[in-house]
Amino acid sequence: MPAVPRTATISRLGAAVGAQGIFTDPADLEPYINDWRGIYRGGAAAVVRPATVEQVAAVVKICAETQTPVVPQGGNTGMCGATVPNAGDNPVVIAMGRMNRIRNVDPLNNTMTVEAGCVLANIQTAAAEAERLFPLSLGGEGSCQIGGNLSTNAGGVNVLRYGNTRDLVLGLEAVLPDGRIWNGLRSLRKDNTGYDLKHLFIGAEGTLGIITAAVLKLFPRPSSNATAWMAVPSPDAALQLFSLLRQQFGDRITAFELLSRACLQLVLKHIPGTRDPLADSHPWYVLTELGDGSPGDALRSELEGALERAMEKQLVLDAALAENKGQSKAFWHIRESIPEAARDEPGMLYRHDIAVAVGQIPAFIRDGQAALEQRFKDTRIICFGHLGDGNLHYNTYVEGRLRSDAAAREAHDVTTVIYDIVQRYQGSFSAEHGIGMAKVEELKRYKNPVEIDLMRMVKRALDPQGIMNPGKVL
């Protein structure tokens, strides 16, 4: 069992990172022991902010020697409490924000080597300055850090074309639970020299080691983009629309997002400066974006023609095509603001980051609504997500339950209703947000026992003392 850090341990950590790299005052600890949604709160003996991989290694080695629990932390923007330290463990938080250098950009190889504390938006900007694209795009990209994105295998809106974060990585650097540094920063696209070890750390949520740097894939920057906000009569129509557009545009579709009217109403209510893109209200909407190398407005004209045909088939009721980048950003601002708007509602929102096969999305939405309405007196469903890759955020408020009520926060009845349906559809109860502390029990209930056993074997092999992010995932 990990030990509680003593004064001597804290002194050694301070010597390893310098006075500017360690906090112990309770006021300074506050931003690091709470999650951004106000759901989880923990405690820590200290927050350490290393500036180099050598400092990370020194800190972890001290923690291993003293059996001190370690909680790696990026931008602390996660949805499942993976970066919030458990109060009872009294751990050391290792915050990666000072390790924020872009070490190298190689446009010819289409790669970029970055440190784990780099903010995602800054990586996107550096890629653009090199006339390249780093396609990972999330609502929290202005504050989330790439180490956290890697540790949760983040998805985002461009998975349809470019894949999850796992698909965007060629090499990693990581500090192991005993303090050793593994340098796997290779920028090769072909390397069959044994196990591909980087995939152990991607998606492991800091339970197997600390990612300190990565070699990321870059892509040619599209010279032409087209964005459309469309009203559709139903999720079935949205799915047919996706099929129609996919047949014409192929992988030029970078994103295809579905959202309900309830989502738009939340954003209009809580996010200043937003407005409904269409004159009339509709039950469902689709936001799509295309990109390619065609000159001028050719892509936009092609999309406009496709939407006219979709309207003839009554798959689209109304549509607004972005006239410029500003209007496109306004459309995306609505989509990306849904989690923030939901946070500002007083009710307890039960969040379900699920995935089913793309063709099953409409049936799942219907089954989920029917089951919730049968079980609970009043529910309000906030359904949105990445229809193109089968990932939905199928969230719900239950009348009378408040976020301030501990019983409501800890209840699993709503979640069990949805996840049982997901299981029936052979889907996933965690598509892109990870497990953290929020879904530990669900992992035990829904994950195959053999898979759980294999995960525990890997955990014991790499972290036999159990000091890395205790209480998370397993």
Q: What is the C-alpha separation between 139 and 75, in angstroms, rounded?
A: 13
The predicted pLDDT at position 372 comes to 96
The predicted pLDDT at position 88 comes to 80
The predicted pLDDT at position 330 comes to 97
Q: What is the C-alpha separation between 376 and 417, in angstroms, rounded?
A: 10
Model confidence band, residue 5 (pLDDT cutoffs 50, 70, 90): low
Q: What is the C-alpha separation between 332 and 387, in angstroms, rounded?
A: 15
Q: Rg of the Cα trace of the chain? A: 23
pLDDT at 80 over 80: yes
**Could you tell me which CATH number the domain at 346-433 has?**
3.30.70.2740
The predicted pLDDT at position 266 comes to 97
pLDDT at 54 over 80: yes
316-331 average pLDDT score: 96
Q: What is the C-alpha separation between 438 and 342, in angstroms, rounded?
A: 18
The predicted pLDDT at position 4 comes to 52
- Where in the chain do CATH 3.30.465.10 domains reside? 102-220
The predicted pLDDT at position 365 comes to 98
449-468 average pLDDT score: 97
Q: What is the C-alpha separation between 403 and 349, in angstroms, rounded?
A: 7
What percentage of residues in the chain have a pLDDT greater than 90?
Answer: 88
Looking at residue 430, its amino acid is: S
Alpha helices, DSSP H, located in 277-395: 298-312, 325-336, 338-343, 361-375
**Could you tell me which CATH number the domain at 224-339 has?**
3.30.70.2190
E strand intervals along 261-309: 284-292
Per-residue pLDDT tens over the stretch 390-440:
999 999 999 999 888 888 888 899 999 999 999 999 999 999 999 999 899
The predicted pLDDT at position 415 comes to 95
pLDDT at 2 over 60: no
pLDDT at 468 over 70: yes
Per-residue pLDDT tens over the stretch 151-190:
999 998 999 999 999 999 999 999 999 999 999 999 999 9
347-362 average pLDDT score: 95
Where does residue 248 rank: exposed (0-12), middle (13-18), buried (19+ CB within 10 A)?
middle
Q: What mean pLDDT, rounded, does the chain reach?
A: 94
What does the block give as tokens for 269?
């209510």
Per-residue pLDDT tens over the stretch 126-144:
999 999 999 999 888 999 9
pLDDT at 1 over 70: no
Name the residue with higher pLDDT: 165 or 87: 165
Per-residue pLDDT tens over the stretch 433-453:
999 998 999 999 999 999 999
| Residue (of 393, 386, 395, 404) closest to 350 by Cα position | 395
> Looking at the domain covering 102-220, what would its CATH class be?
alpha beta
pLDDT at 3 over 60: no
Helix pair 235-249, 361-375: axis angle to 10 deg? 160
pLDDT at 296 over 90: no
Altogether, the residues listed in the chain come to a count of 474
Q: What is the C-alpha separation between 202 and 154, in angstroms, rounded?
A: 9
User: Contact 354/427 with Cβ under 8 angstroms?
Assistant: yes
- Where in the chain do CATH 3.30.70.2740 domains reside? 346-433
Cα 286 to Cα 162, 201, 227, 283, 381: the distances in Å are 20, 34, 11, 11, 17
17-37 average pLDDT score: 92
Q: What is the pTM of this model?
A: 0.91
